Structure 1
Amino acid sequence: MPSVKLSAVYTYRREKNTQASMNPDNPYANVLSSAVDPGPDGFVGTGDDSTYGFYQRLSAANRTVITNDPRVLQSYKGLEITVTKRFSDRWQMLAGYTASKNRIENISVDVSPNFLINADGNITADAQVTGSSRCSGCGASNADRPNQLKLTGMYILPFHEVIVSGNFRSQQGPPVTRQISRALAIGGSQTINLEPLGASRIGTLTTIDLRVGKLFRINNRSLEASVDFDNLANADTVWGVRTLTPATTFTDPTTGTRATLQQFLSPTQILPPRTVVLRAALKF
């Protein structure tokens, strides 16, 4: 097909010896202490309970030294396939599919040994890797999403030259890590990963947006009218969740009723509902 172009790009990127922080006083025990893990449901005494290990803090010494981690490796591997259909026969289209993997491994330096527990795995949407913010590549825009599909197109109907355009997007949800906040003997609490970094994943986010428009010509002027349907399918996909594992108390905003519920994977952000927007622009 002369009006269609197919392209493919493979990207491999790796970062080593990234900047890290350490505490040269090492004010922590060199053996693990154990505590109860309430499990994903957040309630102690249920069938998913377990134990986890952490390093108790023995001193308030809190010097920080900026250094490099000689072992850490942050890598990205991605294959992007793009199909472009230029405008002909009343329609055009741009479609893209990306298969990728974004990971961080072999982390060996941090201000606390607790931040090295289960620190390797899939890059998450959290801008921090465990307790440290040294991972410049981390964050919502760079979270590991193994599969992403995007499609946009436009068609001019033979009926009164009405223009119909739309966008379809489907992307695998970002990884998350089940965590617990552990109070230490000295220096407050620290957040500890209870599973490898990014071991859990939230659901796939799929959205469809549609626009229908028409251009009216009035003498030397033009009136452009359109109607936009955002989130056409009215999907209520969760795309942000809590990661701490202990159950917590939630309040129903409509009734004021309080209940203790599972916290891990409970939603913090949900896709907004369908919206319809009417637009009109007079050009002269």
Structure 2
Amino acid sequence: MYNLNPAKFGLPSNTLIAAASNYGTQTEHWHGVDVNLTARYIKGLLVQGGTSTGRTVTDNCDVLAKVPEPIESRSANSGLVTVANVIPLEYCHVATNWLTQVKFLGSYTVPRLDVLVSGTVQSLPGPEIQANYALPTAVAARTLGRPLSGGAANVTVNLLRPGSTYGDRVNQVDLRIGKLLHLARMRESISIDLYNALNVSSILAQNNTFGASWLAPTQIMPPRFAKVSLQLDF
């Protein structure tokens, strides 16, 4: 692992900003396939949607081989070089897993009744999982041959390779039923929206600090709820 040279701890940081290309090649590419479709099967029925499958590949190895300092993030407000979270050099090249998104929407107007039925369905990758471990200075010293700089008690390291582990997929279904009305010269519509119709409790975010509460949910999908709305066009 890498750690700040103790002789440099607390010195004013170099705030010079320069292009990465001055030191080497830095790349980020997305490899994938998008498929979209729109279909009208019969009068009043519309279906739209598609899928997207791909992964992101980031490579900073050339730059970090010549300028390894960026592997430690630091506070821009302090203006001082201090110990911060460590980004292992082995993660200079990261290729995420192949991830797939699926999104569809459909609507249908019932003839003569002027009733509109519509809905959306989406399935997204779950949140990325990290295992941020507070590595004690006693353990770090076995690799560094010395304690952490600045008398730090620990340094945070991610035990998982970035972009390699994700939570369960996030699936959601939303529905709407509306009635069109025609009164005088105005056009009215009253509708009921049902969000999260299946009342799933998918995890949207979790605790990424490795420990007893690791992966405990910090945000889940809101429960099923309905909304009634009235629209007037004149």
The question of a shared fold, defined as TM-score above 0.5 by the shorter chain, is answered with yes
* Separation in structure 2 between the aligned mates of residue 236 and residue 118 of structure 1, nearest angstrom: 36
Question: What amino acid is the match of 2:213?
Answer: Q
Match in the other structure for 1:176: 129
Match in the other structure for 2:216: 266
What displacement does 1:106 show? 4.2
* More displaced 10-residue stretch of structure 1: 195-204 or 59-68: 59-68
Q: 1:209 to 1:147 in 2, by over 3 A?
A: same
Q: 1:161 to 1:222 in 2, by over 3 A?
A: same
User: Deviation digits for residues 180-219 of structure 1, max 9, x if unmatched?
Assistant: 2346341745432212112221110110000000111112
Match of 1:116 among 77, 84, 88: 88
Gaps of 5+ in 2: 73-85, 138-147
Gaps of 5+ in 1: 1-52, 124-143, 248-261
**Structure with greater strand share of residues:** 1
Match in the other structure for 2:229: 279
Instruction: Indicate if the aligned counterparts of 2:30 and 2:56 stay in contact, CA closer than 8 A.
Output: yes
What displacement does 1:111 show? 3.4
Instruction: Indicate if the aligned counterparts of 2:126 and 2:203 stay in contact, CA closer than 8 A.
Output: no
Per the alignment, in what secondary structure is the counterpart of residue 28 of structure 2? strand
TM-score of the aligned structures, taking structure 2 as reference length:
0.74
* More displaced 10-residue stretch of structure 1: 81-90 or 185-194: 185-194
* Separation in structure 1 between the aligned mates of residue 6 and residue 226 of structure 2, nearest angstrom: 59
Per the alignment, in what secondary structure is the counterpart of residue 209 of structure 1? strand
Per the alignment, in what secondary structure is the counterpart of residue 87 of structure 2? helix
Per the alignment, in what secondary structure is the counterpart of residue 17 of structure 2? strand
Per the alignment, in what secondary structure is the counterpart of residue 111 of structure 1? helix
Alignment of 1:145-156 (within 5 A): 146-156=99-109
User: Deviation digits for residues 65-123 of structure 1, max 9, x if unmatched?
Assistant: 53425244322112001111147422011121111111323442443463234534356
Q: 1:193 to 1:57 in 2, by over 3 A?
A: farther
Match in the other structure for 1:42: none
Instruction: Indicate if the aligned counterparts of 1:173 and 1:203 stay in contact, CA closer than 8 A.
Output: yes
* Separation in structure 2 between the aligned mates of residue 112 and residue 97 of structure 1, nearest angstrom: 35
Per the alignment, in what secondary structure is the counterpart of residue 98 of structure 1? strand
Per the alignment, in what secondary structure is the counterpart of residue 279 of structure 1? strand
Alignment of 1:15-30 (within 5 A): none
Question: What number of residue pairs does the alignment pair up?
Answer: 197
**Structure with greater helix share of residues:** 2
Per the alignment, in what secondary structure is the counterpart of residue 233 of structure 1? coil
TM-score of the aligned structures, taking structure 1 as reference length:
0.62
* Separation in structure 2 between the aligned mates of residue 168 and residue 145 of structure 1, nearest angstrom: 21
The answer to whether structure 1 residue 90 and structure 2 residue 49 are counterparts is no
Q: 1:241 to 1:168 in 2, by over 3 A?
A: same
Question: What amino acid is the match of 1:111?
Answer: P
